[in-house]
Amino acid sequence: MKKLLFVVLFISLLLHNLHCIAQAPKKINIEHSDYADMNQTEIPDAFLLTGNVKVNHDGVVLTCNKAYFFQKENYLKAFGNVQLVQGDTLFLNSKYAEYNGNVKKAFATGSPVMTSPDATLEADTIYFDRNVQEVYYNTKGTIVNRENVLVSKSGRYFVQNKKFLFLDDVTLTNPKYVIKSNHLDYVTTNGHTNLLGPSTITSKNNYIYTEKGFYDTKKNLAHFVKNSYIKYDDRLIKGDSLFYNRNTEFASATKNVKITDSINRGIVKGQYAEVYKLKDSMYVTKRAVAINFVENDSVYIHGKKLMVTGKEDNRIIRAFNNVRFFKTDMSGKCDSIHSSARTALTKLIGNPIIWNGENQITGDIMHLIGEPKTNKIDSLKVLNNTFIISKDTLGTGYNQVKGVNLFGKFKDGKLHDADVIKNTEVIYYMRNDDNELIGINKNKSSKINMIIEGNKIETITFFNNVDGDIFPEAELPENARKLKGLVWRGDERIKSRDDIFPPEELEEEKPKMIEKTSASKNKPPIKSAKKAGAKK
């Protein structure tokens, strides 16, 4: 039994020794030196190598003018025209360097320069850890990669991946832009740059901010995904996700999109947008809304699609499909809108309807006309089949004005007076100061003029061929109290900016949410990182 135990112990010891021998570091091999000497007084336990020194260690070749070689420590100090070469991918030149063969680490100082097929690095001191194939520096360093120059206080270069990692005050300068960040990854072979943390990209055309993003410095393509925006002279583009093409000056934004026009005091929002800077145009969809500031008020315009084209003085806004708009004292609907900054003309196209206070206005064609210089609303034009309706304040009847065309004027942003011309008809409930009904005015004429105060019709004046009378309520039957074509659409009235989104559009997102919830129920529970052994 004792003999068997001895054999087992002997084998274990032998295997341990073999393992240690296998793991022992390789010795630095001196391949050439013009002169070799030892001076125990000046350099104890070291060989002094002089002239055309060349050493080799596990695939790395080091050359220099002079070297101290500490054989016991497997350590080398190199002086003058030092060059460390690893294969054909890494060259480290300096005036002075040290190399430790036991731990396979080196550092170089004295104007050190590291070069690879794709980049050049200069710093006060450059370190090289061969075990993990990393080059790093902790003082100001400059990297040149084709037309990109990167400067940082510290950084790492991963030899195998050909990637730089910067964690402190890095600046990437390109002829077209400058990137600044505190955390930047840069791949020398393809110019791919990852921005992780507050970063800026400044160019002649724009200014970009992001806290997480990607930039392809070769193709000039970018993708930003956290707290990002693109700022031009006149526009600011924000979104949860931004795509940018510098070559074509094209940008797209997804989710929580907000585009601010600082010159025209306008904002466009949506869930997806495309901006073509060179064409001065943008396209917005998915809960798209344009907000324009007019006379200390905001006008909200919604359509399934919004398009803005043209320069500032010739800008055109188009909205398509079930368009709705809202202003404090005015709202409306139509199939589409066309608004021109040059002519200050806004056309409501296809089944237009406007609510001015309590008054519902309809017609075949509607134009809102503004003042080009001030951008203030000046007048309203309704052509063909004009119909104005409002509910009687206390009763169940309707005040009605009908004619062919309407021409209205605005005062302080509110419709103040209006002329209705040609074949006009009126039914109006007249009340005294105590709101008592004194009669129902039913009249026909060639033209009428209305004065509107506080969004209510205060006075009506009839012109030419007036025919009608004021009837006591009891003498005018119900069927005579409605003009032909009367359609009250009060339930459709847009009373707030939230009402500009039709119910069917709001419902579109709900099925997706339900589907997501159902899918998550069927998924197995996620294991924690500790249990799964995952590393973040």
Query: What pLDDT, on the 0 to 100 scale, is given for residue 352?
Result: 95
Q: H helices then E strands: how many in the chain?
A: 4, 42
Q: Which 3-state string (H, E, C) describes 190-229?
A: CCEEEEEEEEEEEECCCEEEEEEEEEECCCCEEEEEECEE
Q: Which of 354, 348, 291 is nearest to 320 (CA)?
A: 348
| Contact indicator for 155, 170 with CB cutoff of 8 Å | yes
Instruction: Convert the pLDDT of each residue in 274-285 to its tens digit.
Output: 999 988 899 999
- Of residues 404 and 526, which shows the higher confidence score? 404
Continuous segment of H or E residues that includes residue 134: strand 134-137
Residue 135 has pLDDT above 90, yes or no: yes
Beta bridge partners of 471: 440
- Average pLDDT of the residues in 491-511: 79
Q: Which of 101, 122, 120 is nearest to 112 (CA)?
A: 122
Residue 1 has pLDDT above 60, yes or no: no
Residue 315 DSSP symbol: -
Residue 15 has pLDDT above 90, yes or no: no
Q: What is the DSSP string of 399-462?
A: EEEEEEEEEEEEETTEEEEEEEEEEEEEEEEEE-TT--EEEEEEEEEEEEEEEEETTEEEEEEE
d(CA 107, CA 125): 7
- Average pLDDT of the residues in 341-356: 91
Amino acid at 234: D
Q: What are phi and psi of 515, to 5 degrees?
A: -65, -40
Burial of 243 (0-12, 13-18, 19+ CB in 10 A): middle
Please report where in the chains the tokens 């087992």 appear, as a residue.
Answer: 8
Question: Can you tell me whether residue 471 is helix, strand or coil?
Answer: strand
Could you give the C-alpha distances from 10 to 2, 78, 395, in angstroms and in order? Answer: 12, 44, 113
Instruction: Convert the pLDDT of each residue in 379-389 to its tens digit.
Output: 999 999 999 99
Both tokens of residue 363?
């017609």
Q: Tell if the pTM clears 0.75, that is, is over it.
A: yes
Query: What pLDDT, on the 0 to 100 scale, is given for residue 478?
Result: 87
Residue 160 CA neighbour count, 13 Å, CB half? 5
Residues in the chain: 536
Query: What pLDDT, on the 0 to 100 scale, is given for residue 415?
Result: 85
- Average pLDDT of the residues in 57-63: 94
pLDDT band at 6 (very low <50, low <70, confident <90, very high): very low
Mean pLDDT check: name the lowest of 149-153, 370-374, 467-471, 517-521: 517-521
* CA-based end-to-end distance of the chain: 51
| Contact indicator for 379, 408 with CB cutoff of 8 Å | yes
pLDDT band at 178 (very low <50, low <70, confident <90, very high): very high
- Average pLDDT of the residues in 447-474: 86
Both tokens of residue 376?
């203030």
pLDDT mean across residues, the chain: 85
Mean pLDDT check: name the lowest of 175-184, 241-250, 351-360, 365-374: 365-374
Question: Can you tell me whether residue 352 is helix, strand or coil?
Answer: coil
Query: What pLDDT, on the 0 to 100 scale, is given for residue 410?
Result: 86
Q: What is the CA radius of gyration of the chain?
A: 40
Residue 518 has pLDDT above 70, yes or no: no
Query: What pLDDT, on the 0 to 100 scale, is given for residue 39?
Result: 77
pLDDT band at 510 (very low <50, low <70, confident <90, very high): low
Residue 27 has pLDDT above 80, yes or no: yes
